[in-house]
Amino acid sequence: MPRGDKSAYTDKQKRKAEHIEESYEKRGISEKEAERRAWATVNKEDGGGKKSGSGRKNHPK
């Protein structure tokens, strides 16, 4: 998967990034920078794209 490929994200994550991007653009941030910040926010909050597996996180004991 090349850098910048958003296919690994859920539809919900894509919608979230779009809303965040629009919010930044309304504040006067350039389109490219708004997109970068939006995806950075989605990654920070959701931990990146779709994850395979049981859905349970591995916690050390």
Output b/e per residue, 27-49; b: 16+ Cβ within 10 A.
eebeeeebbebbbebbeeebeee
Between CA 6 and CA 13 the distance in angstroms is: 10
Instruction: Kindly report the pTM of this predicted structure.
Output: 0.73
The SS3 of residue 53 is coil
Q: Where are the domains of the chain?
A: 11-46
pLDDT of residue 3: 74
Dump pLDDT digits (tens) for 17-61. 999 999 999 999 999 999 999 999 999 988 877 765 555 666 666
